[in-house]
Amino acid sequence: MGCNRNCGLIAGAVIGAVLAVFGGILMPVGDMLIEKTIKKEVVLEDGTIAFKNWVKTGTDVYRQFWIFDVQNPDEVAVNSSKIKVKQRGPYTYRVRYLAKENITQDPETHTVSFLQPNGAIFEPSLSVGTEDDMFTILNLAVAAVPHLYPNSFIQGILNSLIKKSKSSMFQNRTLKELLWGYTDPFLNLVPYPVTTTVGVFYPYNNTADGIYKVFNGKDDISKVAIIDTYKGRKSIYAVFGAELNLKGIPVYRFVLPSLAFASPLQNPDNHCFCTEKIISKNCTLYGVLDISKCKEGKPVYISLPHFLHGSPELAEPIEGLSPNEEEHSTYLDVEPITGFTLRFAKRLQINILVKPARKIDALKNLKHNYIVPILWLNETGTIGDEKAEMFRKQVTGKINLLGLVEMVLLSVGVVMFIAFMISYCACRSKRVN
């Protein structure tokens, strides 16, 4: 009887040890198997679930606009006063709803390039007004003249056309005109061929954005869908910010660092954005990037909304700005196992440089340069509830279940091993006594 009892205790201890060992082995092996299965489906290539959802996203992406409505246009034009602005918005459009085009895989670099067709659908229910709402804004064509035509003689000729068209430093335009284009009365009088349509995003509909080149994740799953280059140039980077939970899914938040808009002295990678010495204060101005080279010489500067993380002198001549990290920063929420971006907010401000010009009546009273904020945008998208549930079941659910099984096997095995070994030792001790 004693022998049978001892054998039973030893068998129990052995079973416990086996369970504990199996649980321990299951941890790396199970994780490896799940990672292999997930990796197979998240690579951006024909036939995977990820590729199908990536080509035409099922998540609604919205672009919200806030317009800086100028409250004192005459004071500024006559006395070179501070520009008083009032932010109005959001005005919301649905974007990125068209399937990607010209998709080309590069097996050598493990990247895939594509064009993103542009399209924008106004969403009245998500907006504070209509596309016909009127705003007082900088006259984009007049402001560009001193930059595009620095010659005094040519400026004199163009000044006569500006006056004839009754154009001034500021103008009244509807939201639709400002964003998507209008026929400018001054440019319409220019006697040689020029583009007479002006708009912050003109042309947009029926055009395409890109070429984008992103990593397909074939060699490194953590890089899947991350932009390598945009129009042949390196993309702006993000840095780790925090760990969050999005609809029951653990995500890592990556944020756009202030260094991305730093001066070339702080960030040498930005040297190409310093195109002159006066406006940039000998390349020490930070918080804005001069993209005029990308805009055919037009004096366009980009920044974070409300000049967040910008030099104090940027906001000094502008009243009505209130930069806020939470509302105005750019971020990505990335699921760490698949590398999928499940939520993002891309926030950007469009500004126009306007400077004094003696030969142009509309600008001759200005005493200093202004980098004038026109609008800021928030392009945002979040995984929907249905897709989040599917993601939890197919990815995080499996991982959590595997983790639970691993811990149960390991815990039960260890407890069984210890309990049976203690009982066996106790029985042996009694027999000796």
Give pLDDT tens digits for 125-139: 999 999 999 999 999
d(CA 87, CA 350): 13
What is the longest distance spanned by two Cα atoms in the chain?
118
Residue with tokens 């708009």: 199
Q: What is the arithmetic mean of pLDDT over 166-170?
A: 97
- Per cent of the chain over pLDDT 70 is 81
Cα–Cα distance between 396 and 418 in angstroms, integer?
33
**Is the pLDDT at 264 greater than 80, yes or no?**
no
Q: Looking at the predicted structure, is the pLDDT value of residue 428 above 80?
A: no
Q: Residue 381: which of 61, 7, 44 has the closest Cα? A: 61
Q: What secondary structure letter does DSSP report for 45?
A: S
Confidence of residue 354 (pLDDT cuts 50, 70, 90): very high
Q: How far is it, in rounded angstroms, from Cα 97 to Cα 116?
A: 9
Q: What is the CA radius of gyration of the chain?
A: 31
Judged by DSSP in three states, 359 sits in coil
CA gap 369, 367 in Å, rounded: 7
Choice among 94-103, 177-186, 411-420 with the minimum mean pLDDT: 411-420
Six token digits for residue 394: 């197919």
Predicted confidence (pLDDT) at residue 12 exceeds the cutoff of 60: no
- Please work out, in degrees rounded to the nearest 5, the angle formed at the alpha carbon of residue 217 by the alpha carbons of 213 and 223: 75
Indicate yes or no: pTM above 0.95.
no
Q: Which residue has the higher pLDDT, 108 or 430?
A: 108
Strand 318-319 versus strand 83-95 pairing type? parallel
- Digit-coded pLDDT (tens) for 392-406: 776 655 555 444 343
pLDDT beyond 90 at 201: yes
String of DSSP letters for 64-82: EEEEEEES-HHHHHHH-PP
Give the model's pLDDT for residue 173.
98
Q: Which single residue is written with the structure tokens 């096997």?
A: 409
Residues 186 and 145: their CA atoms lie apart, in Å, by 11
Say how far apart CA 327 and CA 347 lie, in whole Å.
9
Q: Please, what is the end-to-end C-alpha distance for the chain in angstroms?
A: 17
What average pLDDT does the segment 82-104 reach? 95
